[in-house]
Amino acid sequence: MTHHAEAFAVAVVGMGALGSAAAYHLARRGVNVVAFEQFELGHVRGASHDTSRIIRTSYGTPRYVSLATSAYRDWADFEKVSGEKLVTVTGGLIFCPTDGPYSARDFVSSLEKVGVPFEFLGPSEVRERWPQFRLPENVETVYTSDTGIVHASRSVAALQMQARAHGAVIRDRTPVERVSPDGSGVIVHTATDDVRARKVILATDAWTNTLLAPLGAEIPLIPMQEQVTYFKPVDPGRFDRDRFPVWIWEDTFNFYGFPTYGEPTIKAARDRSDNLMTPEERTFVPSPELLEQLSSFMHDVIPDSGPALRTVTCQYAITPNREFVIGAVPEHPDIIVGLGAGHAFKFTPAIGRILAELAVDGETDDDISAFAVPSNAAVPTS
């Protein structure tokens, strides 16, 4: 018996953080939704696994600050629905060397504009409050008390569980081979059957162009393998979340790190290492050069961080300008893209809600004008 082109209101492709959040928000609204994941749920081939992600309002552009304030409300709402504590507030520091490409003033003015409280600190003030850091004199620091940690794999699992509880159909280990828009919706083709949906949300990250390229709607994406390393400090108590904040070093190379979280280690990484590889080429083998670079940075700036204990890799897909891509494909408006450019986890429930609103209402109150899908419309041949 064939279930040919079973019909749904919305199909979600990709069940990482953003897809799982979209499926949850759609199901919660009573929408008839089906979701596809090519691997097993909670797999480690994408960008949504492992434990900790940074949540913060401290961005250097106001649109991200205001989207982040939205996301905090959505996280709080989802914690109520799921009965799980997913966000841990620790406070956070943004370090900007004055001779680097980023200015602490951009963070200050963006936070001021949106009305998020912060403190502007010099190196001696940072040393006094957090003696774990050894900062050069040319570093300006912005502290936000609302920064914290969100649990990655638990959040994704909770979103999937709540999506199912609200009626979403989730089909894991079901790769989508192609999507065919036909003017009255989209047909989603898998190896086993076809599904018809009025709207399709692609939350497919590094795999996005596999589905968009055949439609002539490719998005400029740079896929790479990132890595994070867990260090083992001699005295983990000094790095407890009550005594040590989340931190981000904004310079030519960007680094970031966490207090202890669930184990006596501190996690740190370089952001955007340009270790270029596609999901097909990906090795899962950490780069020794990147580990050496990170270890030497940690030794200088957090001298008691201790030796590297283990390194975990993840798949990254960033846009050239690091902007999100959220919205309908101009040539195929029934296909909606949600792409996080390697810094979206903190926005997960907000982006999921926005994608659901775009699929159902055709609009959202959040300002996503800067995240429009680029148009690849060919010159008409008439």
The CATH number given to 6-47+153-217+322-371 is 3.50.50.60
Tokens in use for 21? 């959040």
3-state secondary structure of 209: helix
pLDDT in tens, 85-122: 999 999 999 999 999 999 999 999 999 999 999 999 99
Rounded to 5°, angle at Cα 39 from 25 and 340: 50
3-state secondary structure of 5: coil
Give the containing element (helix H, strand E) for 28.
Answer: helix 17-28
Q: Helices marked H in 34-122 — which ranges?
A: 62-82, 104-114
CATH class held by domain 92-145+222-318: alpha beta
Domain locations along the chain: 6-47+153-217+322-371, 92-145+222-318
Quick check: 53 and 345 in contact, CB under 8 A? Answer: yes
> How much is the pLDDT for 377?
58
Residues of the chain with pLDDT under 70: 1-4, 377-382
Rounded to 5°, angle at Cα 329 from 344 and 55: 10
pTM of the model: 0.96
pLDDT in tens, 253-294: 999 999 999 999 999 999 999 999 999 999 999 999 999 999
3-state secondary structure of 274: coil
Report which of 347, 291, 344 is spatially closest to residue 316, judged by C-alpha positions: 344
